[in-house]
């Protein structure tokens, strides 16, 4: 597990002193509001320990965010992923970013004709060209071999 990219908030306990000291808050986004919270907690925490006991039960329905691929949900996930890249790049760990290409694909599949303008342009502007290409090939590799 990478301390800078704790993927899910489920069954994780966070130190209130780390959260308060670093002013870590959940993002106010339509989807993926826990990504930056977990990423920043992983970065600012001095110690991370693992407890295997399940302490959280997630009820998932067919219309829950985990299974929602509407244009707005996909765009929100894309924007959060781009924000995560910016943060990780600022600490020299951009390769740990979960990547933007899966969300670009979701936005494109939503059928909105603005997908290119809303995703490719901002990603290309914000990301280093090297990481933009690296992330694309990582996405393609995952599609082929997973």
Three-state secondary structure of 48-97: CCCCCCCCCCCCCCCCCHHHCCCHHHHHHHHHHHHHHHHHHHHCCCHHHC
9 within domain boundaries: no
Does 7 reside within a domain? no
Query: Which DSSP category does 12 fall into?
Result: -
Domain tally, the chain? 1
% pLDDT > 90, the chain: 62
Q: Is residue 2 part of a domain?
A: no
Residue 118 lies in a domain: yes
What is the residue range of 31's domain? 16-145
Higher-pLDDT residue of 110, 59: 110
Q: Per the domain annotation, does 28 fall within a domain?
A: yes
In a domain, 3, yes or no: no
Q: Is residue 43 part of a domain?
A: yes
Gyration radius of the chain's alpha carbons: 16
Write down the pLDDT at residue 101.
Answer: 96
Least Cα distance to 127 among 107, 97, 106 occurs for: 97
- Domain contains 122: yes
Question: What does the pLDDT look like over 96-146, one tens digit per residue?
Answer: 998 999 999 999 998 889 999 999 999 999 999 999 999 999 999 999 998
Max Cα–Cα distance, the chain, nearest Å:
46
């Amino acid at each position: 597990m990478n301390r800078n990219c704790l993927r899910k908030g489920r069954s994780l306990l966070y130190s209130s002193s780390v959260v308060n000291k670093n002013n870590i808050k959940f993002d106010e986004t339509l989807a993926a509001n826990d990504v930056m919270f977990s990423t920043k907690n992983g970065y600012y925490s001095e110690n991370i320990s693992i407890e295997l006991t399940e302490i959280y039960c997630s009820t998932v329905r067919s219309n829950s965010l985990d299974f929602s691929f509407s244009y707005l949900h996909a765009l929100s996930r894309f924007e959060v992923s781009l924000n995560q890249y910016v943060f990780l790049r600022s600490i020299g760990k951009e390769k740990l970013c979960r990547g933007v290409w899966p969300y670009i694909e979701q936005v494109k599949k939503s059928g909105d004709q603005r997908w290119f303008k809303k995703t490719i342009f901002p990603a290309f502007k914000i990301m280093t060209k090297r990481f933009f290409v690296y992330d694309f090939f990582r996405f393609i590799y995952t599609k082929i071999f997973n």
